[in-house]
């Protein structure tokens, strides 16, 4: 999937998290920012990705050591992040946001023909039975649908009031 699709899914993850935890404005902005960043983070292994271009040196070394869609797209990577967040006593809404952002990225990449090495270091590619081309029509449509979903969740109280007044 493209960076836009991952970011739009991260936006939806953030919106759902603030809806679930009923966070204040500052925390909500932080949650959405963390969700988008964490949904892009696994592609740090790709120097041409949105996040790889921002951290070229780190991206270069991760790609050289692990390759693309291996360690950073695995359950091991997510478990290490969870442990680190737990050790530094991260608030539950931030913890949930980051984990779901990472998971959203891996799940979306499992929808591509290449799949991911979910159980890295075991060299098994994992992908869904139905896959879609990165950057294709389904990818673009999915990014649009996820963004619309996120906007709806964020502005749901406004939409509900609008519809109630309209009726």
Q: 3-class secondary structure for 22-90?
A: CCCHHHHHHHHHHHHHHHHHHHHHCCCCHHHHHCHHHHHHHHHHHCCCCHHHCHHHHHHHHHHHHHCCC
- Expressed as residue numbers, the domain containing 23 is 3-166
Residue with tokens 């041409």: 48
pLDDT at 164: 81
Q: Domain count of the chain?
A: 1
The rounded distance, in Å, linking the Cα atoms of 102 and 105 is 5
Q: What is the pLDDT of residue 136?
A: 87
The alpha-carbon radius of gyration of the chain (Å, integer) is 17
pLDDT of residue 126: 96
For residue 19, what pLDDT is reported? Answer: 94
Low-confidence residues of the chain: pLDDT under 50: none
Burial (0-12, 13-18, 19+ Cβ within 10 Å), 76: middle
CA angle, 39 as apex, 37 and 45 as ends, to 5°? 90
Q: What is the pLDDT of residue 104?
A: 97
Q: Are 143 and 2 in contact (CB under 8 A)?
A: yes
């Amino acid at each position: 999937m493209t960076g836009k699709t991952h970011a739009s899914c991260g936006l939806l993850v953030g919106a759902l998290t603030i809806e679930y935890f009923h966070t204040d404005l500052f925390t909500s902005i932080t949650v959405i920012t963390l969700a988008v960043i964490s949904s892009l983070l696994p592609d740090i292994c790709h120097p041409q990705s949105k996040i790889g271009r921002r951290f070229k040196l780190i991206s270069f070394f991760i790609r050289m050591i692990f390759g693309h869609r291996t360690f950073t797209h695995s359950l091991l990577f997510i478990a290490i992040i969870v442990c680190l967040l737990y050790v530094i006593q991260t608030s539950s809404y931030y913890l949930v946001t980051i984990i779901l952002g990472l998971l959203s990225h891996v799940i979306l990449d499992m929808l591509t023909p290449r799949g991911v090495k979910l159980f890295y270091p075991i060299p098994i590619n994992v992908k869904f039975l139905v896959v879609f081309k990165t950057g294709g029509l389904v990818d673009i449509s999915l990014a649009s649908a996820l963004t619309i979903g996120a906007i709806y969740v964020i502005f749901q109280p406004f939409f509900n009031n609008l519809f109630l007044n309209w009726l």
